[in-house]
Amino acid sequence: MSQKAQIGVTGLAVMGRNLARNFARHGHTVALHNRSYGRTKELVEEFGHEGTFLPAETAEQFVASLERPRRVVIMVKAGPATDAVIDEFAPLLEEGDMLIDAGNAHYADTRRREAALKAKGLHFVGAGVSGGEEGALHGPSIMPGGPKESYEALGPLLEDIAAKVDGEPCCVHVGPDGAGHFVKMVHNGIEYADMQLIAEAYDLLRQVGGLSPEEIAGTFSEWNEGRLGSYLIEITAEVLKQVDAATGKPFVDIVVDRAEQKGTGRWTVQAALDLGVPVSGIAESVFARAISGGVQEREAAVSAGLPGPSAGADHVGGDLRADVEQALFASKIVAYAQGFQQIQAASKEYGWDIDPGAMAKIWRAGCIIRAKFLDFIKQAYDKNNELPTLLVDQYFLDAVAGAQDAWRRVVVTAAQQGIPAPGFSSALAYYDSLRAQRLPAALIQGQRDFFGAHTYQRVDKPGSFHTLWAAEGRPEVDA
């Protein structure tokens, strides 16, 4: 074969097909492969005119059609399918060639695969790709991990097809091995939290404020023009505006109220538990989806008539809409602060050296959590790469300071009216925990020492101590 492709894509379902078209539309010659040839054929028949494609029926033909170092993008169902594809292609590749897993792999799998392929002289790049089907075609946010040196040969192609903000690509080398997939996972976790907070804002405006879905859509459209401006707020307005053609009812009223999940939110929380990072906003959003799906428990509670508050107190002290906007903004800041803290903790744990500001930068377009707000996060980390929490950056500190009275009023109203607002209230509890001079954790240390001799530290001198609780006079000893 004379003509060679700069990049190849194997796995041509919706995501792979669109990524391949995106590369081709940017002038790259793209080799195509799929387990079953039908998808490859279809792509060329439907979109062959968009660029130069080199379709291959076999893995051998596909590999032979690629220029060196070979760049093979794998876009298959995450899990065993990815391992099957790696096992098929790795023996056909040569030293320095790259396998780029652009699926939603778990970062631990990416670490395992990277180590195994490194031993064979191959570069394995776990790349997070956000933006769904549309993003893949028109410009996703791309979070590639893997060896730094592979980015030299791969980065320019990925940057070409990535979303752009003021001409800057939403793609950067995140860090070694699983760093890219880790960051993509946390991105999804933050997305869960953001969606939950927006849902709580809607619920309060409707149940407390008595606004109709259409009116709330208008409110979200207004908010979208301000500091909350983001893709998720924009689509929320669209969803709330939608009227069901069959019944004439608001669309949101004809949808079953059980939120599903594919698992990346759960992974984020699991990883956070292992790292000991309190991502309470993400956790609450994962649990809120689980509660919504707990049909048996919900039905049992409703039929048992679990009582709510005796009288719904009015929202007092402020305008509900304005207050909810403040609560939403403050809670969102907390959720992002927690997500970024998790990225920083993992970066330290695994030696990834992730630049948090660069993550905020590449999420500004192409992905689901794209938002105006990310500019401020980028600026905060540009000023101080080692910020212990975003909440101490001046912009966010001022924003939360300005929002907190309203935020507290909203949480009070939700509690008094019996409306669940786990995102708003846990974010506030997190904020209050961080700013507390003393936490009741001291008492917990006392309990631990009492029943398990787990020891404690004193505020007034160094060392570890244990109280002999059973002994007369309960003397303290060095531990």
Which residue in 6, 22, 29, 34 binds ligand NBP (CB under 6 A)?
34
In whole angstroms, the minimum distance from the beta carbon of 53 to ligand NBP comes to 16
Indicate the residue whose CB is closest to ligand NBP.
Answer: 103
Which residue in 5, 7, 15, 171 binds ligand NBP (CB under 6 A)?
15
Residue of 41, 114, 159, 184 marked active site? 184
Are the CB atoms for 435 and 392 separated by under 8 Å? no
Helix (H, G, I), strand (E, B) or coil at 48: helix
Task: Return the range that interacts with ligand NBP (CB under 6 A); candidates 32-40, 172-180, 308-316, 378-386.
Answer: 32-40
Q: Any contact of residue 155 with ligand NBP (CB under 6 A)? A: no
CB nearer to ligand NBP: pick between 93 and 328? 93
Between strands 98-101 and 71-74, the pairing is parallel
In whole angstroms, the minimum distance from the beta carbon of 91 to ligand NBP comes to 15
Q: Any contact of residue 132 with ligand NBP (CB under 6 A)? A: yes
> Whole-angstrom Cα distance, residue 478 to residue 458?
11
CB nearer to ligand NBP: pick between 250 and 339? 339
Q: Any contact of residue 12 with ligand NBP (CB under 6 A)? A: yes
Q: Considering only CA atoms, which of 249, 251, 234 is closest in space to residue 198?
A: 234
Where does residue 225 rank: exposed (0-12), middle (13-18), buried (19+ CB within 10 A)? exposed
Q: Any contact of residue 441 with ligand NBP (CB under 6 A)? A: no
Distant-in-sequence, close-in-space partners of 269: CB < 8 Å, separation ≥ 6:
189, 279, 282, 283, 286
Task: Return the range that interacts with ligand NBP (CB under 6 A); candidates 69-77, 118-126, 253-261, 287-295.
Answer: 69-77
Which residue in 11, 356, 366, 422 binds ligand NBP (CB under 6 A)?
11
| Residue in this structure with the two tokens 């509670």, named with its chain if needed | 301
In whole angstroms, the minimum distance from the beta carbon of 229 to ligand NBP comes to 23
> Whole-angstrom Cα distance, residue 100 to residue 71?
7
Which residue in 81, 108, 235, 479 binds ligand NBP (CB under 6 A)?
81
Q: Any contact of residue 58 with ligand NBP (CB under 6 A)? A: no
Q: What stretch of H or E contains 168?
A: strand 168-169
Task: Return the range that interacts with ligand NBP (CB under 6 A); candidates 6-14, 237-245, 300-308, 360-368.
Answer: 6-14
Residue of 191, 200, 284, 325 marked active site? 191
Confirm whether 249 is a catalytic residue: no
What are the Cα distances from residue 293, in Å, to 71, 237, 239, 257, 425?
42, 24, 21, 8, 21
Are the CB atoms for 416 and 274 separated by under 8 Å? no
Confirm whether 120 is a catalytic residue: no
Q: Any contact of residue 13 with ligand NBP (CB under 6 A)? A: yes
Q: Any contact of residue 75 with ligand NBP (CB under 6 A)? A: yes
Q: How many angstroms from the chain centroid is the CA of residue 67?
A: 34
What are the Cα distances from residue 268, in Å, to 125, 279, 361?
20, 9, 21
> Whole-angstrom Cα distance, residue 191 to residue 180?
17
Active site residues: 184, 191
Interface with ligand NBP (CB under 6 A) = 11-16, 34-36, 39, 75-78, 81, 84-85, 103-104, 129, 132-133
